[in-house]
Amino acid sequence: MINRERVLQEFLELVQIRCSTRQEREVGDLLTKRLEELGGTVHEDQAGVKLGGNCGNLVADFPGTIDAPTVMLTAHMDCVEPCGDVHPQIENGIIRSDGTTVLGSDDKAGVTAILETLRQLKEQDIPHGPLQVVFTIAEENGVHGSQNLDSSLLHADFGFTLDTHGHPGVMSYKAPGKNQIHIAIKGKAAHAGVEPEKGINAIQAAGILLSDAPQGRIDEETTCNVGRIQGGSATNVVADTCDVFYESRSRDKAKLDAITQRIVDHFEQGAEKTGCQIHAEVSPDYGPYEIPQDSPAIEVAKRAAEKLGFPVELEESGGGSDANHFNTYGVPTVVLAVGMTNCHTKEEYIEEKDLYDAAEWALEIVKQAADCKRG
């Protein structure tokens, strides 16, 4: 059994530490200290330097007490805004903020579960194989922390990212890849009151092309979205520039490539119709992944959930996470639910029960992995 009072107090402590994306130093230093106290050798990579932040990803190695597969447990340190001056409230087994900020269960619930797992292994002298714990930065702005992680530090056989909604027992084994698409439209400036007919309005061109551009759900595993538009300089100038920012997602790589190219072609082929110069640039964020349902990672997580009496549910995710990159790096990684609800809003909350169950699940996963044979 985990120490519920300790889990609760640690969670409440962590959510009250401001941890904006690329500003994770305070919580990173605290977690480094705790990981080292629990027997880990902690490496901090240079991802923070690359991203203009003040802290890198933390990768901690813990030696095993038996010969068993190396398990990786991961969570991210940063939170969406507003995450400063958080005042957690507990009522009827529900933990919320006071309504002026997010709570931060995304992803301090995952961090807390991992720390409690390490403590229980040590205090109860539980046999286990080698462990890697990874606490990432800059997850919330596009999983850029794990994208820039020093992957040479990873050597786990399989892993678990504790970072999604739903009650413990739910896990994501398949997730989409995502591309960012920047469409730059260049028209011609002119005085809007004196000679507007001499101009070519790039904002108007964007509107014309957006009216029949791909948007929303394409099929059950493919989506795209226009998320931001900016352009022009003043109301008395015919806008000569407009930038359109898109994203495309799919759990199928071929479909991801196809919808991305369709968007690029739609806008670039619209240059002649609108009289503008149009250029589209694609920046991949992360690739899709699918873990076989009979893989060791899923089997271990299922056995652990079943032993604890948690209903097991395998889901296909519509969003990305650090697991996308860990899978790309060659560590089969499943995303586990930790109970976070209404994430990225001031209405975010987590049930105390889910907070405790997430820690129980992580601990039981390590125990179940200890029964597996290497290779």
Residues belonging to the active site: 78, 139
Locate 277 and state its tokens: 């110069």
8 A C-beta contact, residue 112 and residue 359: yes
Q: Per the structure block, which two tokens stand in for 192?
A: 């809007």
Buried b (16+ CB within 10 A) or exposed e, 39-49: ebebbbbebbe
Task: Please list the alpha-helical segments (H only) found in 224-274.
Answer: 253-268, 271-274
Query: CB count, 10 Å around CB of 25?
Result: 16
> Which residues, including other chains, have CB under 8 Å from residue 201's CB and lie 6 or more apart?
187, 238, 239
Place of tokens 């969570």: 75
Contact 45, 158 (CB under 8 A): no
Token pair for residue 204?
């108007």
DSSP annotation string for 169-181? TEEEEEE-EEEEE
The three-state secondary structure class of 297 is helix
Pairing state between β 71-76 and 158-165: parallel
Neighbours of 220 (CB within 10 A): 10
CA-based nearest residue to 236, from 270, 263, 199: 199
Is 88 exposed, middle or buried (CB count within 10 Å of its CB: 0-12, 13-18, 19+)?
buried
Report phi then psi at 23, rounded to 5. -130, 50
For tokens 């979205």, what's the residue? 225
Tell me how far CA of residue 136 lies from CA of 53, 55, 154, 323, in angstroms.
12, 9, 13, 11
